[in-house]
């Protein structure tokens, strides 16, 4: 837990139990959770945990570039702790989001362009391996 406190201090953010919990959750759960998923998980152990705190904290962590906000879903935002550049794949069937470990060659190019680029998002959408296999099995019967 100490490492999260250090991280917050390094960015001049006041350390609170709630913020540590949220950071810990994001660091230990790489499933690109929604704000509600974070909220309900943390509320289990601390019933007074507030939804607003989750949103406030996520907003602040995002402002300090400690977390990434994914707009891959059409209905809600997803969050992740990992901040090194990678892309994402969303399965339209099961909803799972996977990390795609590729370096975008246009990142460098865009950095030199007329635009001041601060974020790069690569989203692929389709059907994941597991769901594809299930489809095949179904159609065989």
Partner DNA sequence: GTACTAAATAGGAATCGCTACAAAATGGGA
Partner DNA sequence: TCCCATTTTGTAGCGATTCCTATTTAGTAC
95 binds its own copies (CB under 8 A): no
Q: Report the partner that residue 89 touches, choosing among DNA, its own copies, none (CB closer than 5 to 8 A by kind).
A: its own copies
Contact criterion met (CB below 8 Å) for 46 and 21: yes
Contact criterion met (CB below 8 Å) for 5 and 20: yes
Phi/psi at 104 (nearest 5 deg)?
A: -80, 120
| Residue owning tokens 């509600």 | 36
55 binds DNA (CB under 7 A): yes
Q: Report the partner that residue 57 touches, choosing among DNA, its own copies, none (CB closer than 5 to 8 A by kind).
A: DNA
- Pick from 2, 28, 74, 140: which binds its own copies (CB under 8 A)? 74
73 binds its own copies (CB under 8 A): yes
Residue 74 DSSP SS3: coil
56 binds DNA (CB under 7 A): yes
Token code pair at residue 88: 């994402």
Phi/psi at 6 (nearest 5 deg)?
A: -60, -45
Shorter beta-carbon distance to DNA: residue 16 or 113: 16
Binding residues (CB under 7 A) for DNA: these are: 13-19, 34-36, 46, 48-53, 55-57, 59, 74-77
């Amino acid at each position: 837990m100490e490492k999260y406190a250090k991280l917050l201090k390094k960015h001049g953010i006041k350390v609170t139990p709630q913020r540590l919990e949220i950071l810990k959750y994001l660091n230990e759960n790489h499933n690109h959770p929604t704000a509600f998923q974070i909220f309900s998980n943390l509320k289990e152990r601390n019933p007074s945990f507030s939804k607003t705190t989750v949103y406030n904290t996520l907003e602040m962590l995002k402002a300090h570039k400690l977390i990434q906000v994914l707009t891959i879903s059409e209905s809600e935002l997803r969050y992740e702790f990992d901040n090194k550049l990678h892309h994402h794949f969303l399965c339209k069937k099961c909803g799972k989001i996977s990390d795609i470990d590729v370096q975008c060659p246009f990142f460098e190019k865009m950095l030199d362009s007329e635009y001041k680029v601060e974020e790069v998002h690569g989203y692929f959408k389709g059907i994941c391996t597991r769901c594809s296999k299930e489809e095949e099995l179904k159609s065989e019967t």
